[in-house]
Amino acid sequence: MDADGIIPDIIDTKPEAAVHVTYSDGVKVSLGKELQPKQVKDQPEVTWDAEEGSLYTLLMVDPDAPSRAEPKYREALHWLVINIPGNKVSEGQVVAEYIGSGPPEGTGLHRYVFLVFKQAGKISTDKLIPKTSLEGRLNVKTRDYIAKYNLGNPVAGGLKVNMGNELQPKQVKDQPQLKWNAEQGSLYTLLMTDLDPPSRKEPTLREVLHWLVVNIPGNRISEGQVLAEYMSSGPEEGTDLHRYVFLIFKQVEKITTDIFIPKGSFEGRFNVKTRDIIAKYNLGNPIAGNYYLCQYDDYVPILQTTYKK
């Protein structure tokens, strides 16, 4: 969201979690993915991690009306649903019916942003903007809605890792949230590794350990034992795209170890082998996984100032 200017054009604080948006024919939205108007003409399915008993607001806006170069109508309201119980959007109160994306010819790419807010209480309003009307949709400000309805910071929106999508170092600088289908009462191991140090062509340092958490109860990572704190992606200049892989393993028993690598340290991270970790802790085959691609840009030197070589 920082890289695409969503912050500060619309909001000031990055959402803590991802909102999952799927259009018909299985078209999924991920941060910065370019979609065609025909693909997004119908109202999508939207879901997020919701707290039981809480109410939420779902907002979709275009900050680039009529164009990103001259956004004199910023923002255009495409969808607004309030009083959503949990993440059951269909049971919420529609304030602005969904309209698809139809940028005017010659206005370049537009950013369409989905945001989810947790409400402090039920919102009372009888406003309704039908999908056939533009009245009340132009020159809308997300910040005004936040203030009017006391919404606070968004709890969901933005970035999602899909198999093999390319992300920028700044986008992945913070520890992400991960979810998988976990069995109640089971423990899991989370591993993140870079397969391509210093480059995919000559991976003489394969692998670099970016994150390792063991003894995770279910998928509650914050309750697991951290062996290697999360380290973001900062490939060296000229080394092209690197593959960053997340793997989840179901443990056969609790792992006992006092290993700990802080996020500012490289010690114990180079020439690590996933296969060795699997063998050492009797992990077996991974039960879930994902990966993204990332390469050097001018944000990497900033990241490197936080490392201890």
**CA dist., res. 307 & res. 309, Å (int):** 6
**CA dist., res. 294 & res. 296, Å (int):** 7
**CA dist., res. 210 & res. 207, Å (int):** 9
Per-residue pLDDT tens digits of the chain, which is 309 residues long: 455 565 666 677 767 666 777 776 666 666 556 677 787 888 988 988 888 899 999 999 999 988 888 899 899 999 999 999 999 999 999 999 999 988 888 988 888 889 999 999 999 999 999 999 999 999 999 999 999 999 988 887 755 566 777 888 888 888 888 888 899 999 999 999 999 999 999 999 999 999 999 999 999 999 999 999 999 999 999 999 999 999 999 999 999 999 999 988 999 999 999 999 999 999 999 999 988 899 999 988 988 887 655
Residues in the chain, how many? 309
pLDDT score at 209: 98
Q: Which two tokens stand for residue 116?
A: 């989810």
pLDDT score at 212: 98
Amino acid type, 159: L
Domains plus CATH for the chain? 6-157 (3.90.280.10), 165-304 (3.90.280.10)
pLDDT score at 19: 73
pLDDT score at 170: 84
**CA dist., res. 19 & res. 304, Å (int):** 30
Torsion of CA 203, 235, 292, 268, to 10 degrees: 60
pLDDT score at 192: 96
Q: Looking only at Cα atoms, what is the longest distance across the chain?
A: 64
> How many C-alpha atoms does 33 have within 13 Å on its Cβ side?
20
- pTM for the structure as a whole: 0.56
**CA dist., res. 123 & res. 152, Å (int):** 14
